[in-house]
Amino acid sequence: MASTVLVVTALEDVTADKVIATLNEREVPVVRVDPADIGPSLTFGFRMGQDSAVWGGRLRTASREVELGVVAAVYYRRPTPYAARFAHLPPQQRDFCVAEARHGLGGVLNHLHGATYVNHPAAVTRADFKPAQLARFAELGLRIPPTLVTNDVEQVRKFAAEHEHLIYKPFRGLPADEGGHAGAIWAQRVNPDSFDDALAVTAHLFQAEIPKTGDVRVTVVGRQVFAQHVAAPDNALDWRRGDWNELIHTPITVPTPIEAALHSYLSSFGLVFGCFDFALTGDGDDPEHWTAIECNPNGQWGWLPDAPAITEAFADILSRKEAADHDAAPRL
């Protein structure tokens, strides 16, 4: 019977390390692989024919080897982009190698027969668009901030006239610069009078500021829900921009209608796991005071106080302890 967990991630991934350590304690076989290592440090041979409708063969890393048929679950975390592996090549060769690796190696690893995916990369891609997230929240009856997606300065000014304060936030994180240094653009108040026609160059996300009393991070893994009220000492608009060591965390109970909506949200995207952010506008006991901001389908959770319990929840899913009971995880 298949029992091995394949962990797909980069070499330096503290969050994945936590889950792997717990699986090792449970004596669950684990093989860690970064697809961008393709080359002498990562080789493979996969076959399919008339006598078999599933891919078979072996995957070899510098230290481990695994037969595809024994992979029961795939923990898809944050692998290195294939482009990094081929960055030294001329553009045409680089793009060709990236596409071939993604469609060849990735095409097999993303379609392992009978494996539980947490989360499947295709599901992550579908759920990674903020407009889609907000639409699904609204469909499920959750409150969302009034939102405008536009590249038209007049639309922004009209939207701003309808709301007391306007927030800008990026759709994605800030890419690394040429030196490889990463940055961030936090949610921030903006003055639409300072905009000009240069706004037309790309899409922008604006929202009415929610008069919040606090923030909540809800981590859902299978049927298990972990929620923390997050407060910044300086009452920052975006708590992520300060020193995370100074954040104040307090466990909070998610109202039953909100929790049901979160499970429905994940199910609708084919996800097993998600990190949800909410703004509170009053008492946390009242569902009407919860405003859904976003869901990261591959979010970080290792910094949270309940990280040990979340780690165990991941181990439950990947070892099929929970999936066997609740059929919580999608399989291929």
pLDDT higher for 63 or 245? 63
- The yes-or-no verdict on residue 324 having pLDDT over 80 is no
**Range in 121-125, 148-152, 321-325 with the lowest mean pLDDT:** 321-325
- Over residues 254-268, the pLDDT tens digits come to 999 999 999 999 999
Domains along the sequence of the chain with CATH: 4-114 (no CATH), 146-208 (3.30.1490), 211-306+315-326 (3.30.470.20)
Confidence band of 188 (pLDDT split at 50, 70, 90):
confident
pLDDT, residue 72, reads 95
pLDDT, residue 320, reads 81
Q: Dig out the tokens for 243 from the structure.
A: 């020193």
Q: What gap in Å lies between CA 320 and CA 3, rounded to an integer?
A: 9
- Over residues 102-113, the pLDDT tens digits come to 999 999 999 999
Strand order in the sheet with 224-231: 248-251, 224-231, 214-221, 273-280, 290-296
pLDDT, residue 236, reads 74
Q: What gap in Å lies between CA 58 and CA 45, rounded to an integer?
A: 6
Q: Which secondary-structure segment (H or E) carries 160?
A: helix 153-161
> pTM (2 decimals)?
0.91
- The yes-or-no verdict on residue 35 having pLDDT over 60 is yes
